[in-house]
Amino acid sequence: MFFILFLIFCIARLLSIQLFRLKYFADIAKKQHNLFVELEPRRGAIYDAKGRPLAANISCDSLYAVPAQIPDEYKEELIQKLSLVLKLDYSYLKDRLYRKKSFIWLARKITPSAKEAIEKLEIPGLGFLKESKRCYPNMYLASHIIGFAGLDNLGLDGLELQFDGYLKGQSGWALLLRDARQKKLDLWEKMVSPRDGYDLILTIDEVIQYIAERELDSIAKKYKAKGASIVVLDPHTGAVLALANRPTYDLNESSFTDLDIKRNRSVCDLFEPGSVFKIVTASAALEEKKISEQDKVFCENGSYRVAAHTLHDHRPHGWLTFRQVIEQSSNIGTTKVAQILGPQTVYRYAKLFGFGSKLGIELPGEISGMLKEPKFWSGVSIGAIPIGHEVGVTALQLASAISVIANGGQLMKPYIIKEIRDRHQEVIKLSSPVLINKVISTDTASRLRSILRGVIEEGTGKLAKLPDISAAGKTGTAQKIESDGRYSHSKFIASFIGFAPVDEPVIAIAVIVDEPRPYYFGGVVAAPVFKNVALDVLRYLKASGPANEILASNEIKRTD
């Protein structure tokens, strides 16, 4: 009788399981034999204008565990061994291996030697999945442009961040089958393929970028500078051919780099430009026909009172022609011309040149700078703003401003993305040159090119002179502001902006050096950088083809 009752109980239990708990136990069996795995998409690569890789992906292995499959008697020994191989904290591994989960990451994107050492342990419950790791083959080159991606291949800075939506792609997934011992069979029940990210093709040229960084690095070390920036543009299109800052960092070691070093000074740092800003005053004076090149200005022998402030030149001048005022960078001569123009006109032309506004480059962190409306000017502002004080600019704005004079009077929107392509090389997005506004007439631009050529040949920028190639530019030396609001007598910004050749400009360059020592004049510190970069870049472009081939055939568009 007992056996009959036990048999009836077993049959009832089996019927209960079959009829009422079938789905529950089927799900458990499915979890035991199926492993859900996210399929990582290929992150899009980043290339220079000639297709050379600046950011790419390499295949690597990531270690995971199924804690329930690892016998408890092995766990302590395993934790100790993994801690040594992976150089991970003991408590971190212990916390993860004692979790009651069917899948957990232990270490992502490990080295081949670490994988080999772990495989020799032959511990059940450990496995490897293939992932991709972001790699930057040129390490330091263009670091502030490219930025970097994190462990999960998500962009964290630079173009990697700004265009993460294009680069990262879309994840897929698969249900992998496992045998009774929970080993992968490399078969899948269901799968949705990932969509790979798009590739970025930049306007920068790897060779030009190297030339610019080499010279910037040299001058920063020579003068023990706190920082430095350089921007090289195609003045006709606004295409960025190179952009760099010092200090810099290795993109492959970004997690160990201080945030201050990662900052893109060329678009994020605000500074008073000093005399390079005089191109605005000179342009306004010629365009408004308030003065001509040969009109004379009395420069007060080096001392001139403006409201409550006495203005000085770096060396005394008497009578100078307007051309000489710019060539010799006379603060007094420029201020007297600005007084003829008036605050409204000076402000209007500064805005036309792009100061006080974002230029719209595709890099994160761009600032608008600082340009006060005339209603906020003090009595001394007319003697400060026209010569580059009481105004804040960026290196990119200065490069765009000098490009206006180089290209015949047009402010072009600077851009750094040439194309976005998919894995089949189909163009998803194509950039075109964009005209922001017309600043000055072609005639005024031509006259200014001649004056700025004189700055290099006869004035303060002689160290920027190129052998056998004409060049034009403007020097700048500005006192920095101390924490108490006063101008420093020991901290300066040295700068030079220019273009070459004069008659048919191919490149425009802005060089900024922050707190150089012991020399600090723009004509001494920054001008030689312009010379060396311009000379080597022009030689390279002559050998490799037209400088503005990036988008020379595209129609110029106008911003809203």
Bridge partners of residue 167, in order along the sequence: none
Check whether residue 161 and residue 225 sit in a common domain: no
User: Which structural domain range is residue 380 located in?
Assistant: 206-250+269-558
In whole angstroms, give the CA distance from residue 232 to residue 530.
10
Looking at the fold, whether 295 and 404 belong to one and the same domain comes out as yes
Q: Which residue has the tokens 């409204």?
A: 344
- Both 193 and 289 in one domain: the answer is no
Do residues 318 and 430 share a domain?
Answer: yes
Residue 358 placed within a domain: yes
Residues 142, 210 share a domain = no
Is residue 121 within 8 Å of 98, Cβ to Cβ? no
Residues 442 and 537 in one domain: yes
Q: Is the dihedral of CA 452, 245, 155, 133 positive or negative?
A: positive
Gyration radius of the chain over CA positions: 32
The span from the CA of 55 to the CA of 45, in Å, is 5
Q: What is the pLDDT of residue 382?
A: 95
Give the CATH number for residue 236. Answer: 3.40.710.10
User: Helix (H, G, I), strand (E, B), or coil: what is residue 29?
Assistant: helix
Q: Give the DSSP H/E element, type plus range, for residue 350.
A: helix 343-352
| CATH assignment at residue 72 | 3.90.1310.10
Query: Whole-angstrom Cα distance, residue 343 to residue 383?
Result: 10
Positions marked catalytic: 275
Specify the pLDDT at position 233: 98
Dist CA 148 CA 157 (whole Å): 6
Same domain, 228 and 119: no
Number of structural domains in the chain: 2
Is there a single domain that holds both residue 128 and residue 231?
Answer: no
- Do 196 and 214 share a domain, yes or no? no
Q: What average pLDDT values come out for the chain (560 residues) when binned by 10 residues?
A: 67 61 51 57 91 88 77 74 77 76 77 79 75 88 93 87 90 59 49 80 97 97 96 97 96 88 94 96 96 94 89 91 94 95 96 96 95 94 94 97 97 97 89 95 97 95 94 95 87 96 96 96 96 96 63 44
Residues 437 and 327 in one domain: yes
